[in-house]
Structure 1
Amino acid sequence: MARALCTRCGLHPNTCVCEVCEQVNNHHRVIILQHPSEVGHSKGTVRVLQQCLTRLEVLVGESPASFSQQGLERLLTGTRSGLLFPCADSQPVESNAAGQIDQWLVLDGTWRKAAKILHLNPQLRQLPCFHFADPPASHYRIRKAPKAGQLSTAEAVAYLFTLTEPATDPEPLLRAQDTLIRKRLAFVPDHHKAKDHEAPDPEFRGSLTNY
């Protein structure tokens, strides 16, 4: 008999990580703008954030109309928002300017699709953009990032908290991601695991946080 799906995330126990997700009472609200292709993706780390963060909004879409229907304008109104994505004029999160931000927008998708969301939504370019000046090494070893300094979405949010709200413990996010990785790798033959580490994956999923 098939095992029942998780009542929280709807996933099979072999891929569900809810049991290890601990509550993180983040001070700054995080808004994830997620590309539709990422919804339900078995390697995505947004589900870790959904199970852990107390202040989180996930809007799924690509076009301004899709985000508008989900209330993006309302979420941005009257709040000092920052976009975590490297732009030509982006500032380091480590700078004093980040201290003025009340909530953070993070793009979730492959690098190409995340950039497309930014391109299609000019209102996002009106927000101050930020990047990490010295990000930690990624442990999202399901796929190797094309460049050093590129993190999964969960890792990016965890490091963001490290820099902007020291009272918040981001470790539950990283522990849950480690469980996700372990469960995913359990289905991968050993020779494929080695291959995944040899070459960067152009479709690496997460948040581009450095350039």
Structure 2
Amino acid sequence: MVAPKPGRPTCPQCGLHPNICVCDRCRPVPNRTPVTVLQHPSEVGRAKGTLRILQRCLGSVRVLVGETAEQFELAGLASGDLTRTGLLFPGPTSQPLEQADLSAIDHWLVLDGTWRKAARILHQNPALAELPRYHFAQPPTSRYVVRKAPGDHHLATAEAVSYLLKQAEPDLDTGPIDDAMTALVEQQLAQIPAPLRHRYPKPPPT
């Protein structure tokens, strides 16, 4: 949660200014497969972060902040938590999620941070390297144009988890996550002064 500033109106749920809060647009998504997000400390409190959408929407999600194995262990990640766990992160040994047999996966791990910082989390947590890894072969184009990404195939955390759950639980309606993301982009763009908006591409159609 973002710490509110004295005298500044904020949402009691996310701590953000009402102009960029989308809590009222978040509806329940009752996912059966639990999702654990390992968040890099530098992402905590970022107004442009999308993790808060998952925290408001998903029925089964937890967020652990850290970078090293020791920090995540202190945050509550036990070795037993990695049983039948899949890691969403591309690499030489990762499988395309869309074609993979996911019947053995009962829990998902997702890394939240810039590409470099997410890779650092992976490097500093050897146990994660032993997990079955998956990547998106045909991801949608990111609509999160207010934050720079390495490429169109890189998704914001909320977008990535939404697409992940679409594959893992085809009968699950992840529309509320997508709707909240659309609202977040619209509200963030609305805060940008008109003379500067040309610097931001229009989000692709839903």
TM-score by length of structure 1 reads: 0.87
1:94 to 81, 91, 98: 98
The equivalent residue for 2:25 is: 20
2:64 to 55, 59, 64: 59
Any conservation in 2 of the 1:26–1:55 contact (CA below 8 Å)?
yes
1:152 offset after TM fit, Å? Answer: 0.7
Count residues with an aligned counterpart. Answer: 196
The equivalent residue for 1:206 is: none
Per-residue CA deviation, residues 177-205 of structure 1 (Å, 9 max, x unaligned), is 1111111111112343322449xxxxxxx
Please state whether the residue corresponding to 1:145 is helix, strand or coil.
coil
Q: Return the alpha-carbon distance in structure 2 between the equivalents of residues 30 and 181 of structure 1.
A: 23
Q: Return the alpha-carbon distance in structure 2 between the equivalents of residues 143 and 40 of structure 1.
A: 15
Any conservation in 1 of the 2:69–2:124 contact (CA below 8 Å)?
yes
Higher relative contact order (CA 8 A, sep 6+): 1
1:22 offset after TM fit, Å? Answer: 0.1
The equivalent residue for 1:68 is: 73
The equivalent residue for 1:114 is: 118
Q: Does residue 157 of structure 2 align to residue 139 of structure 1? A: no
Kindly provide the amino acid, as one letter, of the partner of residue 152 in structure 2.
A
Q: Return the alpha-carbon distance in structure 1 between the equivalents of residues 94 and 79 of structure 2.
A: 24
Q: Which runs of 5+ in 2 are unaligned?
A: 1-6
Q: Return the alpha-carbon distance in structure 2 between the equivalents of residues 64 and 154 of structure 1.
A: 24
After the TM superposition, which residues 1-211 of structure 1 pair with which residues of structure 2 at under 5 Å, given as runs? 4-73=9-78, 76-77=81-82, 79-197=83-201
1:47 offset after TM fit, Å? Answer: 0.4
Q: Return the alpha-carbon distance in structure 2 between the equivalents of residues 93 and 128 of structure 1.
A: 11
**Is the alpha carbon distance of 1:75 and 1:51 closer, same or farther for their aligned partners in structure 2, counting shifts above 3 Å?**
farther
Per-residue CA deviation, residues 105-130 of structure 1 (Å, 9 max, x unaligned), is 00001111111111111111111110
TM-score by length of structure 2 reads: 0.89
1:144 offset after TM fit, Å? Answer: 4.2
Please state whether the residue corresponding to 1:115 is helix, strand or coil.
helix
Q: Return the alpha-carbon distance in structure 2 between the equivalents of residues 172 and 68 of structure 1.
A: 31
Any conservation in 2 of the 1:48–1:177 contact (CA below 8 Å)?
yes
1:153 offset after TM fit, Å? Answer: 0.6
Deviates more, 1:66-75 or 1:127-136: 66-75
Q: Which runs of 5+ in 1 are unaligned?
A: 199-211
Q: Return the alpha-carbon distance in structure 2 between the equivalents of residues 119 and 8 of structure 1.
A: 33
1:96 offset after TM fit, Å? Answer: 3.4
Please state whether the residue corresponding to 2:56 is helix, strand or coil.
helix
**Is the alpha carbon distance of 1:197 and 1:96 closer, same or farther for their aligned partners in structure 2, counting shifts above 3 Å?**
closer
The equivalent residue for 2:3 is: none
